[in-house]
């Protein structure tokens, strides 16, 4: 019996000029829990203005090698979609274009309307295929949970914790200027 919560992929946007990027994953019970956990793990110190999460099982992914071996089938033509009750779905498109980074960043590149994930992939390749993609992720937009960029909570969610001491590894076992000798139980030369 599996007792672990579902895995959620986390997408973080550092600045308005940068895209949302996949930065890792968290285990959580629901979307709000996933967003809170993601914020605590991925946005405590680095800058961020927005976060998205999606259950890992809701991501349709293809690598360059998988597509070379087994291209997705052509989507069935829908000549009169509304006559059959068909409504196109909106998908978010992410792609990975480089192995240079130490983390596996998959960048958000835009949205497409499509009849299926495979159709969305075909459209993504046509629209966003200006750079060779090492991997494509296609996510139904309605499956993404997003932090609210227009709310009053953005500051409390993403503002840096400037009042908390942050230690880089090279500063371990050294006393910084934020700690006085008096607090350490030693008198300073002026107090003697």
Q: Is residue 108 part of a domain?
A: yes
Q: What is the 3-state secondary structure (H, E, C) of the chain?
A: CCCCCCEEEEEEECCCCCCCEEEEEEECCCHHHHHHHHHHHHCCCCCCCEEEEEEHHHCEEEEHHHHHHCCCCCCCCCCCHHHHCCCCEEEEEEEECCCCCCCCCCEEEEEEEECCHHHHHHHHHHHHCCCCCCEEEEEEHHHCEECCCCCCCHHHHHCCCCCCCCCCHHHCCCCCCCCCCCCCCCCCHHHC
Query: Which pLDDT band holds residue 96 (cuts at 50, 70, 90)?
Result: very high
19 or 83, which is more confident?
19
The better pLDDT of the pair 63, 189 is held by 63
CA geometry: angle 123, 147, 59, nearest 5 deg: 35
Residue 133 buriedness (CB in 10 A; 0-12 / 13-18 / 19+):
buried
Mean pLDDT of the chain: 79
By mean pLDDT, which of 11-25, 91-105, 173-187 is the weakest?
173-187
Structure confidence at residue 83 (pLDDT): 46
pLDDT at 81 over 70: no
Residue 25 lies in a domain: yes
Overall number of domains in the chain:
1
Q: Would you say residue 162 has pLDDT above 80?
A: no
Kindly tell me if the per-residue pLDDT of 76 is higher than 50.
no
pLDDT band at 71 (very low <50, low <70, confident <90, very high): confident
Given this model, what pLDDT does residue 103 score? 59
Prediction pTM value? 0.73
Residue 163 has pLDDT above 60, yes or no: no
Q: Domain containing 22: what range?
A: 7-72+82-191
Is 126 part of any domain? yes
Instruction: Name every residue whose Cβ is closer than 8 Å to that of residue 18 and which is 6 or more positions away in sequence.
Output: none
Q: Is residue 169 part of a domain?
A: yes
Is 153 part of a structural domain of the chain? yes
Which pLDDT value is given to residue 42?
87
Cα dist. 92→13, 52, 138 in Å? Answer: 15, 11, 6
Q: Is the pLDDT of residue 5 over 60?
A: yes
Quick one: pLDDT at residue 120?
A: 94
- Cβ within 8 Å of residue 29, ≥6 positions away: 5, 6
Inside any domain, residue 1? no
Residue 77 placed within a domain? no
């Amino acid at each position: 019996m599996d007792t672990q919560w579902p895995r959620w992929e986390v997408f973080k946007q550092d600045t308005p000029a940068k895209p949302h990027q996949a930065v890792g994953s968290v285990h959580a019970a629901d979307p709000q829990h996933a967003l809170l956990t993601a914020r605590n793990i991925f946005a405590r110190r680095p800058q961020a203005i927005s976060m998205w999460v999606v259950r890992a099982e809701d991501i349709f992914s293809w690598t360059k090698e998988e597509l070379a071996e087994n291209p997705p089938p052509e989507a069935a033509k829908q000549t009169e979609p509304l006559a059959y009750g068909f409504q196109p779905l909106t998908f978010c498109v992410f792609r990975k274009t480089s192995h240079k980074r130490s983390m596996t960043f998959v960048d958000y590149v835009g949205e497409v309307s499509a009849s299926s994930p495979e159709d969305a992939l075909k459209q993504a390749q046509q629209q966003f295929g200006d750079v060779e993609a090492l991997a494509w992720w296609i996510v139904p937009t309605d499956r993404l949970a997003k932090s609210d960029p227009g709310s009053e909570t953005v500051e409390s969610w993403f503002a840096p914790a400037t009042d908390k001491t942050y230690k880089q590894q090279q500063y371990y076992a050294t006393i910084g200027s934020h700690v006085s000798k008096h607090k350490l139980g030693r008198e300073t030369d002026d107090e003697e």
